[in-house]
Amino acid sequence: MINSGKKLMTGLAGLLFCCLVAVSCYATDFFPETIEMNVLTDLYGGVVFDHDLHVMITEGCAVCHHHTTGTPVVDSYCAKCHADEGPVETVSCQGCHTLEPVTAQSMREQRDVYRYHDDKPDLKAAYHLSCLGCHMEFGAPAGCQDCHARTEAGDAFFRSGQFAPAGSAVGPAH
């Protein structure tokens, strides 16, 4: 009994290990290990996103990539149309989410092209809503400068650091 139990545990552990290796190989083979997010830098510097790490810890690609990677769709709203689809050409965030701020007008124009993509956030919001939503839910770092360092322009904008108001108690970094 003990032996078979041990064997089972060893087998399961081995299986888990294989899965992890397979997933990580899959990730490193077909997807970038890291992604540099630096198209929006101004008040903050860019972010080097550890894609590998996030592949390991999320349920599936679709948590971030909606329906574009061909893996099972998580969001029930996306699944209404895209439940059984293969991967599509555009997978990156900035392939779909625009740099320009979204307005009601741009949303309406978008709706004329893709009927149900009518409330799509712009790139800055797509990043933050997706990243910060998860980070806050799972207790991961959620401060602004936990992910991206503030630039001098950012310090001036927030009136912080060397631009802090005289007499305020706040130091350079929050």
Partner 1 sequence: MSKITRRKFLAGSVAGSAAIAMAPTKKAFGANLEGFPDGMGVLVDLTRCVGCRSCEAACNKEQKLPEPDKSFDDFSVFDERPHGEHRRPTEKTYTVVNRYDQTKTEPVYRKIQCNHCNEPACLTSCFVNAYKKTPEGAVIYNDKVCVGCRNCMIACPFNIPAFSYSSALNPIIKKCIFCYDTRLKDGQVPACVESCPQQVMLFGKRKELIRVAHARIRRSPGKYVDHLYGENEVGGTGWLYLSAVPFKEAGFNVSLPNEPIINNVKDFLAIVPMVLAIWPALFTGFHLLSTKGKSHGHGEGHSHEEQEEH
Where does this chain bind partner 1 (CB under 8 A)? 77, 101-105, 107-108, 118-119, 121-122, 124-125, 128-129, 132, 136, 142, 144, 157-160, 164-165, 167-170, 174
Nearer to partner 1, 35 or 164 (CB): 164
Task: For residues 1 and 136, give the distance between their C-alpha atoms in angstroms, rounded to a whole number.
Answer: 45
Q: Which helix (H) or strand (E) holds 146?
A: helix 144-147
Q: How far is the CB of 162 from partner 1 (least distance, A)?
A: 11
Q: How far is the CB of 143 from partner 1 (least distance, A)?
A: 9
Q: Is 154 exposed, middle or buried (0-12, 13-18, 19+ CB in 10 A)?
A: buried
Q: How far is the CB of 70 from partner 1 (least distance, A)?
A: 25
Residue with tokens 């322009």: 153
Residue with tokens 């899965």: 19
Nearer to partner 1, 58 or 145 (CB): 145
